[in-house]
Amino acid sequence: MRTDPRFPRLHIVEHPLIEHKISLMRDRNTGTQDFRTLLHEIALLMGYEVTRDFPTHLVEIDTPIEKMKAPFLVEKAPVILPVLRAGLGMTDGLLALLPAARVGHIGLARDENMNPIEYMVRIPEAPKSNHIVVDPMLATGHSAAYAVQLLKDRGIPESQIRFMALVAAPEGLEVFFKQHPNVEVYLAALDDRLNDHGYICPGLGDAGDRIFGTLKE
Ligand code: URA
């Protein structure tokens, strides 16, 4: 994992498979079906690092040979919170690793000034659990910061929240960490900048449109 001196809580998950798959996703000629599959695969690979510090405890079991104290996850049902709609594209990858996880939904749209507005929010009540908020694109940082604030408003401390994205822009990370300095953020790539329309450059375009096939022909 790589860090960045500007953002102490940022972790960039480095792996040749992830790099290869994200390059395929960036290519405008990659269609919806492949895009969706690649996003699922990257979420699964990233999940390995996002959960690296999840604690385990020892439980006595019988192997076919003898008794042993074996490590098991202390928490089997963390909360996964996709930011709709693009976050849905990363949810199944995480669920493949954490099949007992609970899933909430954070539906945010943007108004004409790019500020987030809620249209559907369902957050499982799990005050002691780890919460993983997922959205492939951390662009302006406003939706990401808003989603995490919803959890903090429900009493979840920053130490129990982590944010997982595919790609981010530095401008968005500035906004995010100003509001939530102790939330760990996991990315597959940190890109160069935002353009005037709030898109990440070089980025991969509109992730929601590419996942759900709603791009204009
Ligand atoms: N949302 C996207 O889907 N892509 C961007 O580049 C920025 C926000």
In whole angstroms, give the CA distance from residue 191 to residue 51: 23
Residue 139 neighbours by CB distance under 10 Å = 26
List beta partners, residue 186. Answer: 11, 164
Residue of the CA atom closest to atom 7 of ligand 1: 199
Question: Which pair of structure tokens corresponds to residue 44?
Answer: 């699964």
**Does residue 157 sit in helix, strand or coil?**
coil
pTM listed for this prediction: 0.95
Measured CA to CA in angstroms, residue 53 lies from 50, 92, 184, 212 at distances of 8, 21, 12, 33
Identify the residue whose C-alpha is closest to ligand 1 atom 3. Answer: 206
Pocket of ligand 1 from Cβ distances under 6 Å: 86, 137, 139, 198-200, 203, 206-208
Instruction: Render pLDDT for 126-169 as a digit per residue (tens, 0 to 9).
Output: 999 999 999 999 999 999 999 999 999 999 999 999 999 999 99
In this predicted structure, the answer to whether residue 82 has a pLDDT above a threshold of 90 is: yes
| Long-range interactions of 103-109: CB distance < 8 A, separation 24+ | 103/79, 104/79, 104/80, 105/81, 106/81, 106/82, 106/133, 106/147, 106/150, 108/83, 108/84, 108/143, 108/146, 108/147
Q: What is the pLDDT of residue 66?
A: 98
The pLDDT of residue 179: 98
Q: Are strands 184-187 and 193-194 parallel, antiparallel or unpaired?
A: unpaired
State residue 111's pLDDT score.
Answer: 82
Distance from the alpha carbon of residue 184 to the mean position of ligand 1, in angstroms: 21
Dist. CA 7–CA 65, nearest whole Å: 49
For 23-75, write each residue's pLDDT tens digit.
Answer: 999 999 999 999 999 999 999 999 999 999 999 999 999 999 999 999 999 99
